[in-house]
């Protein structure tokens, strides 16, 4: 139940932001672009540091990593609730919550194999998947709370929710201590986070800034073209450097953020393809 509650928290946070748009416009003077950036900041930070959060969990332990993520989520929600403007809301609160999610999500997925085996493990993963679906019901109570108390109280309630989950982590069983000889791959984390950040940011801004030809909303150009393409190219270059860096690190007998056994695994490639093809088709349909 503790794992399920943590998963519900991360899934519900974005749902709350989605229905708070009108109040953000009235209270903080937010524009449509500001709200889009607030959504992007969360996804950008969470996606960029997700791999790093997984490695931290392996090195320091999943329960401790979950607690780190919950503390960051509490801090971020408090900043969001007290934000005087959209700048603090986005790059203060939402970024911190996204960083917390990058620790919580890998911890949820890491704790299940550590705590359960066989059929019980499959059941636990099923409960976590169902917990993600619960976020579809969140707009109903959050909408009522927003109408009666405002967005600050709503995000304060989310902070209190994460605090309750943090206290409940004391109920998690003691796990075997992680390998003390394993060190955190700092270089890999920097390359992965920066590469994913450039790539995701570039892709996210294509619709508003343009891919090659700059659109009217594009704030600046690089060599006469929109900055989205250079950002995507920079991200891909950094991720290529990450692969080369990780292979060199493994050859030296050190723990790698992105092990070659994982990259070369047929099931991993098949899974990426199975997820990527439908999303690609959805993108083609949307663009047409």
**pLDDT for residue 205:** 82
Q: How far apart are CA 9 and CA 250, in angstroms?
A: 36
Q: What are phi and psi of 175, to 5 degrees?
A: -105, 165
**Token pair of 193 as six digits:** 């986070």
**pLDDT for residue 235:** 92
pLDDT digits (tens, 9 = 90+) for 59-82: 888 899 999 999 999 999 999 999
Residue pair 39/17 in contact (Cβ under 8 Å)? The answer is yes
Q: How far apart are CA 138 and CA 191, in angstroms?
A: 36
- Which residues does the chain have with pLDDT short of 70? 177-182, 286-288
CA 231, chain centre distance (Å): 20
**pLDDT for residue 10:** 83
**pLDDT for residue 180:** 57
**Token pair of 72 as six digits:** 């960051």
**pLDDT for residue 178:** 65
pLDDT digits (tens, 9 = 90+) for 123-148: 988 888 888 777 777 777 877 888 88
Alpha helices in 86-227 (DSSP H): 86-87, 95-115, 118-134, 139-149, 151-168, 186-204, 206-209
3-class secondary structure, 47 = helix
Angular region, 241: left φ>0, alpha ψ -120 to 50, beta rest: alpha
Sequence-distant (6+) residues with CB within 8 A of 9 are 73, 104, 158, 161, 162, 165
Q: What are phi and psi of 214, to 5 degrees?
A: -65, 135
**pLDDT for residue 67:** 93
């Amino acid at each position: 139940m503790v794992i399920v509650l943590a998963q519900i928290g991360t899934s519900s946070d974005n749902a709350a932001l989605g229905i708070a748009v009108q109040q953000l416009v009235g209270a903080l003077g937010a524009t449509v672009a500001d709200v889009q950036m607030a959504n992007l900041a969360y996804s950008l930070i969470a996606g960029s540091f997700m791999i790093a959060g997984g490695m931290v969990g392996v090195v320091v332990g999943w329960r401790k990593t979950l607690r780190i993520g919950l503390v960051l989520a509490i801090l971020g929600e408090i900043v969001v609730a007290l934000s005087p403007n959209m700048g603090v809301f986005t790059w203060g609160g939402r970024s911190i919550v996204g960083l917390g999610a990058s620790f919580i999500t890998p911890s949820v997925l890491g704790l299940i194999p550590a705590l359960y085996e066989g059929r019980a493990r499959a059941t636990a993963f099923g409960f976590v998947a169902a917990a993600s679906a619960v976020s579809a019901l969140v707009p109903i109570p959050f909408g009522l709370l927003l109408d009666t108390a405002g967005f600050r109280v709503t995000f304060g309630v989310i902070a209190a929710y994460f605090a309750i989950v943090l206290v409940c982590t004391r109920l998690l069983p003691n796990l075997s201590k992680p390998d003390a000889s394993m060190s955190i791959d700092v270089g890999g984390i920097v390359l992965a986070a920066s590469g994913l950040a450039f790539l995701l940011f570039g892709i996210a801004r294509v619709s508003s800034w343009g891919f090659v030809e700059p659109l009217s909303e594009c704030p600046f150009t690089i060599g006469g073209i929109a900055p989205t393409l250079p950002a995507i190219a920079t991200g891909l270059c950094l991720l290529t450097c990450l692969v080369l860096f990780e292979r060199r690190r493994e050859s030296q007998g050190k723990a790698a953020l992105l092990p070659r056994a994982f990259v070369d695994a047929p099931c991993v490639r098949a899974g990426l393809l199975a997820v990527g093809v439908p999303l690609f088709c959805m993108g083609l349909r949307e663009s047409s």
